[in-house]
Amino acid sequence: MERLSGAQDLFDYITEKRRLDEREARVLMSQVIDTVIQLHEAGVVHRDIKDENIVIDVDTKQLRLVDFGSATLVRRRPFTDFDGTTSLAAQFSLHRKQDFRVEILGRKKNLNLE
């Protein structure tokens, strides 16, 4: 991946701005959701999406998802193990084996392709 000049991770971007207006937050989150859907369609699950793993070009407001160290291929059986940043994880996901699902745009989408 090329290095972007004028880019920073989303955590730093939001910290510096102190606040995003609703329109900008909507545009940025829409890019994140579109990226996750594209990854899933390509057969990849990132498994560690957080603001530090999203890089923003501050001039164009284009986002890039980075750090695929926890990524894996989509599989038909449920994911029962946790991989990612444990300090940011929901506690229930660390203590129980379960079928992990996500909600995208108000509809449940099973990432296990059952």
pLDDT greater than 70 at residue 8: yes
Residue bearing the bigger pLDDT, 35 or 82: 35
* Res 54: pLDDT: 92
**Residues with catalytic annotation?**
48
Mean pLDDT of the 3-30 span: 89
Q: Is residue 72 part of a domain?
A: yes
Domain of 87, CATH number, reads 1.10.510.10
pLDDT greater than 70 at residue 106: no
Total domains in the chain come to 1
| Three-state DSSP string of the chain | CCCCCCEEEHHHHHHHHCCCCHHHHHHHHHHHHHHHHHHHHCCEECCCCCHHHEEEECCCCCEEECCCCCCEECCCCCCCCCCCCHHHCCHHHHHCCCCCCEEECCEEECCCCC
Q: Is residue 73 part of a domain?
A: yes
Query: What would the pLDDT profile of 21-80 be if each residue is shown by its tens digit?
Result: 999 999 999 999 999 889 888 888 887 788 889 999 999 999 998 888 777 787 776 666
Q: Is residue 39 part of a domain?
A: yes
Residue bearing the bigger pLDDT, 72 or 8: 8
Please name which of 70, 74, 68 lies closest in space to residue 100, comparing C-alpha atoms: 74
The whole model's pTM is what? 0.67
Q: Is residue 46 part of a domain?
A: yes
- Which residues constitute the domain of residue 31? 7-106
Q: Is residue 89 part of a domain?
A: yes
